[in-house]
Structure 1
Amino acid sequence: MSEPHDQHGSPHADHPAFGPQWWERHYQEHTATHGSPSPQLVAEVTGLPVGSALDAGCGRGVDALWLARQGWQVTAVDVSPTAVSEAKDFAHHEPDVAARISWVVADLTTWQPPKQYDLVVSQYVHPTIPFGEFVARLAQAVAPTGTLLVVGHDHADEHSAAHAPEQASIGLDAVTGSLTRELWEVDVAESRTRYVEHGSTRMSIRDLVVRAHRTPM
């Protein structure tokens, strides 16, 4: 995710990057948009048996809505009350889909999931704790035989390096290194290129994609 710069060209210079207040301010200042679901989510989740899902860092809810449309029972969590409120309002246009989503305002670095889920998804989340520690928290929320999907900006992505602080991107070891071999099998761990349009400019962005499943207890 590309974030705005301050007048000196350095992102987030006047407040801690990615804390709860930063995200709330971000969503209040940026116009709501509801585009297409993440291509990485669609690629990795399509075909999985539906069940319960946790969308950890749901933002304005586009991916949570996509999951619910596929039949998942979704718990969608974000630290920003504004983002969650806008997501709920948008979901009301599809009552049957909205009925399959529970919206939660919470800080994922401290929130304790009430149960384990068949699918836990986290995309482009920038926690204030070390990313490996964050992945370990997500992993605890995955039920036996369930799936964990983590997507983030690759450390090697030039656009992210130029427009966002270092903690906005992740490395492979920060994800896979937090998944113990006794409990996890990593199915996908790779960097992928996607293309985004900004006005008349088409940019390539590199994402790190990790999908793993938890072995039976």
Structure 2
Amino acid sequence: MKATPQILVGTLAAGGALAAVLVGFALYGTGSNLGNLAASGPCAEAAPAAARLAPLARGEVAAFDASAAPKPAPVVAFKGPDGAATDLAALRGKLLLVNLWATWCAPCKAEMPALDRLQAERGGDAFQVVAINVETRNLDKPPAWFKANGIAHLTYYGDPEGKVLPAIQAAVGSTGLPTTMLIDAKGCTLGVMKGPAEWSSEGGQRLIRAALGTDT
């Protein structure tokens, strides 16, 4: 017996519906698995803190970009004030505001006093501003600039080998200076500021308090 056009159409429609259900199930399962993988990543615990920061990016820190999915901070090495090698891992255990700057960068120099004030007001066992100079020539100039401009509370860090800037810029998609990363105590990036900010302002302080999970 020949199938009528109506039966053929009905059969095709049913087959198409079944295929759609199967495809949808597959996609749902895939998405769920990806979500589970993201939730179990190395920085999954940092996600709530980053989410708290997103609505606070306003005013003087409006350009702060909170991480939707926090990732481990780049592995970078640089020099401490005594010239000895160190890295971000050595500073782990506290919230870090990692700032890349240079004396030839006018916006960098303009925001440095605010970073110094922030370190003076909030620096300690739970928080530190880590300002890393990225110049590779005239290496006596940046610390001299610190001294001449009264930057007294920041520890001087430098990268005379020029490796930190490209590594961090590649990690956060920044193309200029200053670039600033907020990194939690476990080494996860909570957000990035591309450009200068008045970090000691109430807006900046509010971001730091939220990242620390404190109201004071």
- TM-score, length of structure 1 as denominator length: 0.26
The structure having more radius of gyration, on CA atoms, is 2
**Which of structures 1 and 2 has the larger relative contact order (alpha carbons within 8 angstroms, sep 6+)?**
2
Q: Give 1 or 2: higher strand fraction.
A: 1
Q: Give 1 or 2: higher helix fraction.
A: 2
- TM-score, length of structure 2 as denominator length: 0.26
